């Protein structure tokens, strides 16, 4: 199996550009077409930040973070192609990624040109108790112990059961039971931060809409963030952020951030206490990880209009180049 050796790991702080207003962010995050379908690949550029394991050797490796990982930023689609009567969106990377979606069933398919094989990456038609098998191309590779590095991963063909199906802010979210037989590194390294695998309407699976992209160690990926244009519309976990390169962004003390009133109905005050430079970005996410509000912060107290949010629990993230802090609030 091909190895990628990292001689050193450096921190790349998360930078989020908000060229559009928060209203546009919210519309992008909750948009459905006239039939009520929420597409995975809407018109315009989409960027996926996907972390994957690599083989690395560092003296100060800290398993408390994702550790030996790399974050791939994949933007597209760059073009479309038709294969056997099916139209695929093509994301041009070190190898081209062909994907398509079925708007009737809510499935994502990936086509492997070199193998002339199509696999199901995500299926939004599943119900509680249904079985989903992780994307499998091993049959075309001879199965068994064939470590073809572009296609092999530990979880290939492992079955997982739908544990629950919920609706979060208008999105269908399918929770799958843990992959106990696998080395899925989100569960391996971050059981407290990364819950069961999920299929999220309009976003895709929490290992990313392409299935496997790893070029190093053989475990499935972790989808960190999704942007439509320059607008952040999905973040898997605010502690992990959108980039992982072996180290983490420092955490501010919990006392730095105050949210009040909590619960909130109309306005939520975000107060930063004892911070020399309050400039940064405030992001509000629902419990599925979908960004419902985002704005820049320049003062010690910032008011957020939460009146349009549905009742429930939300996560507030303050982040700048020096660190981050995360707290929850309840919208009533």
CATH of residue 308: 2.60.40.3080
pLDDT 10s digits, 109-146: 999 887 788 999 999 999 999 999 888 776 555 544 44
**Cα 273 to the center of its chain, rounded Å:** 30
Q: Which domain does 261 fall in, by range? A: 254-331
Cα–Cα distance, 296 to 96 (Å, whole number): 36
Q: Would you state the pLDDT for residue 10?
A: 31
The pTM of this model reads: 0.68
Q: What are the E-state strand segments in 113-221?
A: 117-123, 131-133, 159-168, 171-176, 198-200, 204-205
- For residues 88 and 120, state if they share a domain: yes
Contact 255, 273 (CB under 8 A): yes
In a domain, 51, yes or no: yes
Cα–Cα distance, 64 to 133 (Å, whole number): 29
188 three-class SS:
helix
The last residue of one of the domains, among 235, 263, 296, is 235
Contact 286, 312 (CB under 8 A): yes
pLDDT 10s digits, 190-228: 555 555 689 999 999 998 999 877 655 567 788 989 999
Specify which residues 171 forms β-bridges with. 168
- For residues 173 and 67, state if they share a domain: yes
In a domain, 325, yes or no: yes
Cα–Cα distance, 301 to 257 (Å, whole number): 10
**Domains in the chain, number:** 2
The last residue of one of the domains, among 176, 205, 235, is 235
Q: Do the strands 117-123 and 107-112 form a parallel or antiparallel pair, or are they unpaired?
A: antiparallel
Given a cut of 90, whether residue 292 has pLDDT beyond it is: no
In a domain, 243, yes or no: no
- For residues 146 and 287, state if they share a domain: no
- For residues 267 and 175, state if they share a domain: no
In a domain, 5, yes or no: no
Cα–Cα distance, 216 to 164 (Å, whole number): 32
- For residues 93 and 148, state if they share a domain: yes
Give the strands of the sheet with 301-305, arranged side by side.
257-260, 267-272, 301-305
Cα–Cα distance, 47 to 1 (Å, whole number): 28
Specify which residues 227 forms β-bridges with. 47, 232
**Token pair in block for residue 263:** 């619960």
- For residues 219 and 151, state if they share a domain: yes
Average pLDDT over residues 171-196: 66
**Token pair in block for residue 56:** 């690395």
């Amino acid at each position: 199996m091909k190895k990628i050796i990292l001689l050193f790991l450096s921190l790349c702080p998360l930078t989020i550009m908000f060229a559009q207003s928060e209203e546009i962010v919210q519309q992008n995050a909750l948009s459905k077409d006239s039939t009520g379908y929420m597409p995975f690949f809407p018109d315009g550029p989409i960027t996926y930040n996907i972390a994957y394991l690599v083989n690395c050797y560092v003296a100060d490796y800290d398993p408390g973070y994702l550790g030996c990982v790399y974050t791939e930023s994949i933007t597209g689609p760059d073009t479309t192609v038709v294969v056997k009567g099916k139209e695929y969106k093509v994301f041009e990377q070190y190898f081209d990624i062909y994907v398509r979606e079925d708007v009737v069933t809510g499935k994502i398919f990936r086509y492997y040109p070199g193998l002339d094989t199509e696999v199901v990456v995500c299926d939004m038609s599943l119900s509680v108790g249904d079985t989903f098998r992780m994307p499998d191309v091993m049959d075309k590779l001879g199965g068994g112990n064939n470590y073809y590095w572009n296609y092999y991963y530990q979880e290939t063909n492992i079955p997982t059961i739908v544990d629950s199906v919920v609706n979060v802010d208008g999105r269908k979210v399918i929770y799958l039971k843990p992959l106990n037989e696998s080395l899925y590194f989100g569960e391996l390294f971050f059981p407290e931060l990364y819950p069961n695998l999920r299929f999220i309407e309009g976003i895709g699976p929490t290992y990313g809409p392409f299935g496997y992209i790893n070029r190093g160690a053989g475990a499935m990926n972790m989808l960190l963030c999704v942007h439509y244009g320059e607008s952040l519309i999905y973040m898997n976990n605010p502690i992990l952020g959108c980039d992982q390169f072996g180290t983490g962004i420092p955490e501010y003390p919990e006392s730095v951030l105050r949210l009040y009133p909590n619960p909130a109905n109309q306005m939520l005050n975000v107060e930063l206490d004892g911070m020399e430079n309050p400039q940064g970005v405030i992001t509000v996410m629902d419990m599925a990880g979908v960004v419902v509000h985002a704005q820049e912060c320049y003062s010690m107290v910032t008011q957020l209009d939460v009146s349009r949010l549905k009742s429930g629990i939300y996560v507030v993230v303050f982040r700048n180049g020096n660190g981050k802090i995360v707290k929850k609030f309840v919208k009533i």
